[in-house]
Amino acid sequence: MPHAASPRHQTSMSQGSDATEEEGLEGLNASAHAFFFDVDGTLLDIADHPDGVIVPADLAADLNRLLERAGGAVAFVSGRTVERLDAIFHPLRLPAAGAHGAEMRIRSDAETERISPQLSPAIRAQVLRTARELGDLLVEDKGASLAIHYRSRADAKQELGHRLEAIAELAADPLTVLPGHMVFELKHSGRDKGVAIEALLGTSPFHGRRPVFIGDDVTDEAGFAAVRRHGGLSIAVGRPFENVDVVLAGPANVRALVHRLSL
């Protein structure tokens, strides 16, 4: 469960406001900071189906300008695979940590490195059987993890969580069940968004910059903590979490901030 906390600042930044005047966001600039963005629920509005997200026409252009202004120190840190991120934002390619850090691309022009191994066929079979038994739940196969969406059967949340925990406990490899917005993700232990951000901060062009991470979910808490350890700024979307400095009202406010930073 998320840990509610009192952020240092809370803002409902609107499209017409000036990000540099927002309390808690003063001093943010492309030349000194490294920017890490969650995607679903942060840059993009949540959709009923993972394939249903809409990228506003100007967002990719704003991100590309920010990438140039920040000397390449802009990255997606997402539960989605790097391949899906590229497809969603095409033709934009950013450095990226995909599948909660199971995949890494440290530069826009680099190849994607797969850090975590594929889940075994036996684990896949167990998860697919569980999803069928609980009402044909949507299973998103990310290779190194499986996301089981229960938006169509919210009443199945508790039973689904218990069954996935049982699968993880009996698995040969250490696995973790990660909760999110109407989804559970079964993934390898030891990789999360915090580990991914730490890895990116150890490489050029992120190294030596003050990190900024923006996320909206329990899955982002490790990222918030990592940024806090590095003296950076953690920004939550929609609600406060542990280790968060600023809360923005929604994805539209994040997009407004990206636009301001890109100018």
Paired residues of 74 in beta bridges: 35
Compute the distance between CA of residue 220 and CA of residue 78 in angstroms, rounded to an integer.
Answer: 9
Strand order in the sheet with 103-105: 9-10, 246-248, 233-237, 210-215, 33-37, 74-77, 96-98, 103-105, 113-114
Phi first, then psi, for residue 18 (nearest 5°) are -105, 115
CA–CA separation, 60 and 88 (whole Å): 10
Q: At residue 234, what are phi and psi to the nearest 5 degrees?
A: -105, 125
HSE, side-chain direction, 13 A CA sphere, residue 51: 4
Among all residues, which ones are annotated catalytic? 38
Distance of alpha carbon 252 from alpha carbon 140, whole angstroms: 26
- Phi, psi dihedral angles at 107 (to 5 degrees): -135, 155
CA–CA gap between residue 164 and residue 160 (Å, rounded): 6
The amino acid present at 184, given as its one-letter code, is F
